[in-house]
């Protein structure tokens, strides 16, 4: 609502109130959420994609293999020496194409689910944030999974960047051979749903509940405090998320034996990795925690 003061001929001020329609205001807010989320996602990709490539390499390697990366530094130097500098940007096109709708969907859908659950008197506010976060992640997974399948395949190839086929060619190849279903572009969909659902549940649940607990009604958090909360929420969500992310990479990536499928489902993959490599194998992509935390700091800085 805005107020405009009109000055009459006699110099008497007459305030005139113009009411902006509720529907227009809600549409504008949704557009702002979509735009801010998209910008945050694009910024994250441009800055942090090399870490994502290294993370995927660690997740795909099996203990005891000849091509084993012993540390983050070893992976970085080995990739630079054998595949070139551009190898750290392998598979960047699919996330660029997906990240804007993905981040936009994350925050826009979270707000819509939150408003929906607030209509039910039986659901307390802390659970509203948790449920809205989980369902927003599940919705986001359907948008991003085909792009993730192509990205993981490209990131797993240990060839020079120039020798690698492009994302569109690979996507067409997967579609032609295996289709759009769970054996093709949507391979690993269940793992992706778990990955995004659990991440958003932890992130939105912790962040928004902490804001409510730490501030008085109507009081706004300072930017440094919002950044700190975002970092803590992102770190917590990333740690809880690692097993599902590893399972997704194993399912979507190249199988150990070319003519057989070893990693078939999410739960089966998690159990198999623990059985063969132990729980320590899930600690390989340590940079994932910082990667996701920086994403959330970026989003919060943009005012999400």
Q: What is the pLDDT of residue 238?
A: 85
Contacts of 193 (CB under 8 A, 6+ apart): 137, 138, 141, 142
**Is 293's pLDDT higher than 70?**
no
Q: Quick one: 12 exposed, middle or buried, by C-beta within 10 A (0-12, 13-18, 19+)?
A: exposed
**Is 43's pLDDT higher than 70?**
yes
Phi, psi of 27 (to 5 degrees): -65, -40
Q: What is the mean pLDDT of residues 42-60?
A: 83
d(CA 136, CA 109): 6
Q: What is the mean pLDDT of residues 123-134?
A: 92
CATH for 30-61+69-301 is 1.50.40.10
Where does residue 28 fall: left (phi above 0), alpha (psi -120 to 50 degrees), or beta otherwise?
Answer: alpha
- Nearest residue to 197 via CA among 250, 131, 263: 131
Q: Quick one: 246 exposed, middle or buried, by C-beta within 10 A (0-12, 13-18, 19+)?
A: buried
Phi, psi of 153 (to 5 degrees): -60, -45
Phi, psi of 91 (to 5 degrees): 70, 20
Q: What percent of the chain has pLDDT over 90?
A: 29
Ranked by mean pLDDT, the top range of 29-38, 93-102, 238-247, 281-290 is 238-247
Mean pLDDT score of the chain, rounded to an integer?
80
pTM: 0.79
pLDDT digits (tens, 9 = 90+) for 136-153: 999 999 999 999 999 999
Q: What is the pLDDT of residue 225?
A: 85
Secondary structure in 3-state letters for 202-232: HHHHHHHHHHHHHCCCCCCCCHHHHHHHHHH
Lowest mean pLDDT among 45-54, 181-190, 251-260, 291-300: 291-300
Q: What is the pLDDT of residue 8?
A: 44
Higher per-residue pLDDT: 283 or 69: 69
pLDDT digits (tens, 9 = 90+) for 79-127: 899 888 888 888 888 888 887 677 777 778 898 999 999 988 888 889 9
**Is 155's pLDDT higher than 70?**
yes
Q: What is the pLDDT of residue 95?
A: 86
3-state secondary structure of 256: coil
**What does the DSSP 8-state code read for residue 19?**
P
């Amino acid at each position: 609502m805005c107020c405009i003061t009109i000055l009459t001929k006699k110099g008497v001020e007459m305030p005139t109130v113009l009411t902006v329609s509720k529907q227009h205001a809600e549409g504008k807010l949704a557009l702002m959420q979509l735009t801010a989320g998209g910008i945050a996602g694009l910024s994250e990709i441009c800055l942090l994609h090399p870490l994502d490539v290294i993370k995927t390499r660690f997740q795909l390697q099996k203990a005891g293999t000849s091509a084993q990366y012993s540390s983050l530094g070893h992976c970085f130097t080995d990739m630079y020496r054998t595949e070139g500098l551009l190898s750290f940007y392998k598979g960047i096109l699919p996330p660029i194409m997906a990240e804007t709708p993905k981040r936009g969907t994350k925050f826009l859908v979270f707000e819509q689910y939150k408003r929906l659950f607030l209509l039910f008197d039986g659901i307390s506010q802390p659970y509203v944030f948790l449920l809205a976060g989980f369902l927003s992640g599940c919705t986001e997974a359907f948008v991003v999974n085909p792009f993730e399948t192509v990205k993981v395949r490209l990131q797993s190839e240990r060839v020079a960047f120039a020798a690698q086929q492009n994302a569109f060619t690979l996507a067409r190849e997967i579609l032609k051979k295996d289709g759009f279903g769970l054996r093709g572009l949507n391979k690993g969909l269940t793992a992706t749903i778990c990955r995004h659902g659990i991440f958003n549940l932890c992130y939105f649940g912790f962040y928004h509940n902490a804001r409510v607990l730490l501030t008085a009604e109507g009081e706004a958090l300072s930017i440094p405090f919002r950044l700190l909360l975002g970092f803590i929420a992102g770190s917590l969500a990333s740690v809880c998320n690692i097993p599902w992310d590893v399972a997704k990479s194993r399912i979507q990536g190249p199988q150990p034996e070319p003519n057989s499928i070893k990693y078939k489902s999410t739960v089966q993959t998690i159990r198999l990795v623990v059985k063969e490599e132990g729980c320590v194998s899930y600690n390989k992509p340590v940079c994932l925690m910082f990667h996701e935390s920086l994403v959330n700091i970026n989003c919060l800085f943009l005012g999400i």
